[in-house]
Structure 1
């Protein structure tokens, strides 16, 4: 279970507090850097086309750029932190969803190859022992790859679930903070919350 959040929102927390294994931490650090760097690159590429829609988009691009820079600095410096702004968590969540889809597709492809290999073995039962041994070795290698990918899938899903949990908590705290804001600032705070999400 991730640690409870209370009081003012910190910009990030040590990812070592998330209850992840060492290999899951390595995945989180690698893909947080990739996801935020990719989001930052996309924001810079489209900045001119969205600049006429309001300063909120500009602030969002700058925020994502700063988040990517912070993630890169954390990973490069040997530390690891989970960024706790809603925008960064949303980007990271979408990245892990895509990653799980890619791994799932690879598992499906290998499963299809396994079926084809099984059929091939049945059809070639009369072939030489050497050819049969080669096909069995290939079959075992495919099964090994499937096992590795399923393990990777479970790790990514665990990390994705933690990211989603933090995002829900952060957004809930933001809504509570917006609800306690003075009336004169209530509208602007609510607007900023909408832009971040």
Structure 2
């Protein structure tokens, strides 16, 4: 591995987590490079195999190999990773929209149920008010009946006394 064909991956201006991702993806790309048929066939087997070994050696020393084949494999690997991330984001956005719609539906149902219960409670309170008014009327009528009864008993008592005096 010559110094001119590789650079330290730490000199790329990446954060430590980005460097870690780069190293992981470079290793995956190198493994895929030897297993995807690039190292097979006449005439290119040695170059691909040696390129793969050189890229692997560069990666293990924290360097990024700059040959076109390694960079193409890394680019392809990163494109695939980006596509997977995009697909996952799309899926999560879809799930979030479903969740929001379900929550909105549940909230709407809860509001409808609450409105129905409020209306029912208002009807019950109105019925209680009507019954309290009827109770008050009955109490007044009872007082009037008691008053009449007391008067009638008083008149009956007087009549009994008057009848006794006559006899």
In the alignment of these two chains, the number of paired residues is 109
TM-score, with length taken from structure 2: 0.58
The answer to whether the 8 Å contact 2:6/2:58 transfers is: no
Q: Matched residues in 2 for 1:11 and 1:30: separation?
A: 20
Return the match for 1:63 from 50, 53, 62. Answer: 50
Q: Matched residues in 1 for 2:15 and 2:60: separation?
A: 22
Where structure 1 has 5 or more consecutive residues not aligned to the other structure, the ranges are: 1-7, 75-79, 128-197
**Superposition map of 1:160-179 within 5 A:** none
**Superposition map of 1:47-196 within 5 A:** 47=40, 50-51=41-42, 55=43, 57-71=44-58, 73-74=60-61, 80-125=62-107, 126=109
Q: In the TM superposition, what is the alpha-carbon distance from 1:29 to its structure 2 partner?
A: 0.8
Q: Matched residues in 2 for 1:102 and 1:16: separation?
A: 26
Distance 1:42 1:68, change over 3 A: farther
TM-score, with length taken from structure 1: 0.50
Q: Matched residues in 1 for 2:72 and 2:103: separation?
A: 47
Q: What's 2:31 paired with?
A: 37
Q: Matched residues in 1 for 2:8 and 2:52: separation?
A: 20
RMSD (Å) for aligned C-alpha atoms: 2.4
Q: Matched residues in 2 for 1:72 and 1:81: separation?
A: 5
| Cα displacement string for residues 100-147 of structure 1 (whole angstroms, at most 9, x for unaligned residues) | 0000000000000011011101111135xxxxxxxxxxxxxxxxxxxx
Q: Matched residues in 1 for 2:34 and 2:12: separation?
A: 25
The structure whose RCO (Cα within 8 Å, separation 6+) is larger is 1
Which 4+ residue blocks in structure 1 deviate beyond 3 angstroms? none
Q: Matched residues in 2 for 1:9 and 1:81: separation?
A: 10
The answer to whether structure 1 residue 16 and structure 2 residue 10 are counterparts is yes
| Cα displacement string for residues 140-174 of structure 1 (whole angstroms, at most 9, x for unaligned residues) | xxxxxxxxxxxxxxxxxxxxxxxxxxxxxxxxxxx
